[in-house]
Structure 1
């Protein structure tokens, strides 16, 4: 069985089986589907899965024609490819929808801060916004009245709705999650999350918990 090593901290590594790796991909896919914001790109997992694809397809290519085990493996590869493609497609849709906001966040990152985008996604986002500006300037704004030909991009930015409600399932115990993060004071409502239980909460107060893996979206 193939293994995947994930750095947990410094020189410590947690060994994951192929099944655990695929479970991580499916979890990332579901989180991305239901999160209103763009999450961090799972570069290490995707790189490992693509390497597994190459090894599996090479093995299938050497198998006798009509081999039953190879047919099962081929079916499994197609299923994994579907999840991977859906994950990447969901991210691209979010990038296109919130591209200006995402690039603003990228520009504000400090030295050593982690980007949410892969290198390819960042290049795509920059090209997409350039093409969008070109389209607006050459095909739309020039046909508008003079006082409408200048657009304030900051006022037109589409941002993710972090106050939308999501279904979450606790993976770890978490105490004191604010039900209404906008309410100040010691009397504001909060809830304790127990592992295995499901909740309906605003996304904003659980955003960091999704990133850390303490909860997952469902």
Structure 2
């Protein structure tokens, strides 16, 4: 069944007629491109596609990825501007309905992205805090300042909870709690689906061992694969591959 079509004077986002002269507006990839174009014209510096890519990568990666605070801030500002523009229009008009649908879609993407990060912080907080404290200036920033505060408060609350519930009832020699040994680290050997954005040559998948030689492959552009996350983690970080 074909997608529903909405007839309007032009694009409800960028306020311009479609290039082919048609009065039909379809909410597909062109809709996202229209939002980006309109944002650039207004000087918003908002890239909706960047937010969607960050969301998918964070959703499917087993580890916490580099923070995209600039993308989050831009999307929040964009949502605020869209909400203000929506209230200026007339409720019930097709244009306002499309605007509301796009607003809800972007709000879902942003909320899901932040929830995915919070879930990982709660699951792996000792390891993330250790990485943040020991990282160098060249290492990517995993936790934003607010996320770092949240992780520290969560770690303190967990330690306090264990002391009150269990540790204080144990012998003194057994009251020490090392959360980094208690909480399992992320499973970097988990398998993920990915799509290659830029061709990559001689990607090391398996290192050489006594039983086998090293295993390297070439990743062709637009090809899709199912493989372990650890070997391709750097390619996710630099945008060469997209988790799907």
Q: Which interval holds the TM-score relative to the shorter structure?
A: 0.7 to 0.9
> 1:60 matched to which residue of 2?
86
Query: Which of 127, 133, 138 is equivalent to 1:101?
Result: 127
> 1:9 matched to which residue of 2?
none
Structure 2 unaligned spans of 5+: 1-37
- Higher relative contact order (CA closer than 8 Å, sequence separation 6+): 1
Match status 1:214 vs 2:240 = yes
Between structures 1 and 2, the one with greater strand share: 1
By how many angstroms is 1:17 displaced?
Answer: 7.8
Distance 1:17 1:174 in 2: 30
> 2:107 matched to which residue of 1?
81
Query: Would you say the 8 A contact 1:169–1:216 is kept in 2?
Result: yes
Query: Which of 177, 189, 203 is equivalent to 1:151?
Result: 177
SS at match of 2:187: coil
- What TM-score comes out, normalization by structure 1 length? 0.86
Structure 1 unaligned spans of 5+: 5-14
- What TM-score comes out, normalization by structure 2 length? 0.77
By how many angstroms is 1:146 displaced?
Answer: 4.4
Aligned length: 206
> 2:28 matched to which residue of 1?
none
> 2:156 matched to which residue of 1?
130
> 1:28 matched to which residue of 2?
54
Query: Would you say the 8 A contact 2:168–2:175 is kept in 1?
Result: yes
